[in-house]
Structure 1
């Protein structure tokens, strides 16, 4: 474990700055200020009632976007501390990475993508960028949160370069428009801190989806015992603590799975650092491959777990039924608001350009994407149930 920053870590004293220059403060670094702005924004608070897999009313102990983001941030901080990266930047990125998600998890996102296919599309990473650069309106001198270049770069590029790759997809308009104001170097990899945040997301996601799936009764512990990584961990705990009640068995195994994934990432990344010898943050960005990575064995374990979870959790018939319902909620709301933008709250109507207009569609997408699960459900009832007052 190290407390000193590596030479290739992002140094807040050398930040490439903010789109709107601001004076520094002696009490917090620039990345700490970014983190604090994210925590205090409206979009972050709404994550409390945005689902991961289960809609908010299905149970109080299932993960939400908020609890997931907190778990990711803690994993990311721990990893950064071990390899000498900037914890505050990784934490800011972890806390912000899901801000652009719609209500109802991926089901809501797929529904909104379908609705927006004729209106420049919808992408949750681009929506996160819109939120922190435009939609949050808290400060007197600018829209958005005016985050540092490093945080914005990591937000849009944490999964790798967006241009110049053989599999590069067309860029969302929000990313194109912002990059014209402030070049985020879309053809390079992001910082090591952003790479840590991205893989911390995978670690947290895998572990808590096992936990939530078991809690919901979608599958049982016995169904996991033949899986690589997961099965051996559960067997290890069961052998060491015979007769342990299932709740404790699940949690004890859950924390050990996280530890093994973290240890594997740190060991593999440490070996990469020794092999590639990056000296600066720019070296990391121009390496041509990720510096932060899992071992080949862990990548295979991750694929096996996802292959199990897809049919047994994400496509379980109970989840499918709720997915079908919430997609209809999103599509009903979108189609109604696009056809009748005067039904939007007054402040949301102002930028619209009439029924079915391109600006109207983007306003409606912003409005719906910002909804929590329960607000979307309540809004649907208000607008489609004639027995309920609007």
Structure 2
């Protein structure tokens, strides 16, 4: 039985005319032998899930650095929440869920240890953004430098999930919205759990618009996008919700993201990442062989290496460089 043909038939029958169907993909840089079971976007999703870069996300910071508790988000749980939100929107808009899921699962693979703190640390020395690094991760870092060889549409969605760019597919645009919905809401949840803010500190204009609980906020934001976008060749919010989310995000910057309590250890993390960057620029032979090549500048290669580190691996490398090791006679 041609299982892929069944998927293509279902997509032809049920997906929106504005969806990106698997058969319309622009393909890969290096063609692959056909898989008898999975479509190309399904293969991309599986390649991402089974990658080392994806597994490392469980030990990378979301907002709270090395939190003492089991229930704070990590970069991995953030990624899963983005995927769930994005798939809910994509299904309702009759878009390609496999493409949406692949983009969502890969969108943060290039994040540094300690999240945006590490990103800012590397940005002091050279151009570094996590979305561009996520694309480098899937293109030329993972699989010992061979990359994952993903389809054009997944790569485009990963690159353009944040920043000035806009994805060429509606599925990619869905992930960009899902990313913002996820982090705004789970960061509120974690901030309340950590005592940075109290639930009743959230201004009434936001609870009136979005709801007074985690689930109500997410549901209202998702519903607004679906209602505003259904049957159209666009993914959008109503003006009221777009303005409200922008103001809520600014509230989070003012009260949470720059809070001394939430960021009490951030300066140490930044100093550590800066030290590692400068150290490996002067000691490139101590990096794994994968990053010792001359086709790109040393700054780029060091950033590539550091971006593969989890929080705890970065600490381990820092300690091995700076802390005297115990000596014993063999």
Normalised by the length of structure 2, the TM-score is: 0.90
2:252 to 309, 313, 318: 309
CA distance in 2, matches of 1:257, 1:320: 25
CA distance 1:94–1:196, shift in 2 (3 Å): same
Which position in structure 2 is the counterpart of 1:261? 221
Q: Determine if contact 2:196/2:262 at 8 Å carries over to the other structure.
A: no
Deviation per CA, 1:181-204, whole angstroms, max 9, x where unpaired?
A: xxxxxxx75200000011011111
What is the correspondence of 1:146-295 to structure 2 with a 5 Å cutoff?
146-159=149-162, 162=165, 189-229=167-207, 233-234=211-212, 253-270=213-230, 273=232, 278=233, 291-295=234-238
CA distance in 2, matches of 1:5, 1:135: 34
What is the correspondence of 1:4-83 to structure 2 with a 5 Å cutoff?
4-83=14-93
1:53 Cα deviation after fit: 0.6
CA distance in 1, matches of 2:290, 2:56: 18
Deviation per CA, 1:275-302, whole angstroms, max 9, x where unpaired?
A: xxx4xxxxxxxxxxxx111111111211
For the residue of structure 2 that corresponds to 1:204, the secondary structure is helix
1:377 Cα deviation after fit: 1.2
Q: Determine if contact 2:139/2:149 at 8 Å carries over to the other structure.
A: yes
Q: Determine if contact 1:352/1:363 at 8 Å carries over to the other structure.
A: no
For the residue of structure 1 that corresponds to 2:14, the secondary structure is coil
CA distance in 1, matches of 2:245, 2:19: 27
What is the correspondence of 1:347-362 to structure 2 with a 5 Å cutoff?
347-348=289-290, 350-351=292-293, 359-362=297-300
Deviation per CA, 1:302-341, whole angstroms, max 9, x where unpaired?
A: 1221121112111111233211110001001111111222
CA distance in 2, matches of 1:160, 1:322: 27
Q: Determine if contact 2:210/2:216 at 8 Å carries over to the other structure.
A: no
1:126 aligned onto 2:132: yes
Q: Determine if contact 2:156/2:167 at 8 Å carries over to the other structure.
A: no
CA distance in 2, matches of 1:124, 1:159: 9
CA distance 1:343–1:76, shift in 2 (3 Å): same
1:161 Cα deviation after fit: 6.6
CA distance 1:367–1:189, shift in 2 (3 Å): closer
Deviation per CA, 1:232-265, whole angstroms, max 9, x where unpaired?
A: 722xxxxxxxxxxxxxxxxxx1111110000001
1:98 aligned onto 2:108: yes
CA distance in 1, matches of 2:225, 2:182: 13
Which position in structure 1 is the counterpart of 2:305? 367
2:125 to 115, 120, 142: 115
CA distance in 2, matches of 1:190, 1:147: 16
Unaligned runs of 5+ in 2: 1-10
CA distance in 2, matches of 1:231, 1:216: 25
Which position in structure 1 is the counterpart of 2:6? none
Q: Determine if contact 2:209/2:244 at 8 Å carries over to the other structure.
A: no
| Paired positions, count | 316
For the residue of structure 2 that corresponds to 1:320, the secondary structure is coil
Which position in structure 1 is the counterpart of 2:317? 379
Q: Determine if contact 1:133/1:144 at 8 Å carries over to the other structure.
A: yes
CA distance 1:58–1:329, shift in 2 (3 Å): farther
Deviation per CA, 1:30-70, whole angstroms, max 9, x where unpaired?
A: 11100000001110000000011112343321111110100
Which position in structure 2 is the counterpart of 1:300? 243
CA RMSD of superposed structures (Å): 2.2
CA distance 1:230–1:204, shift in 2 (3 Å): farther
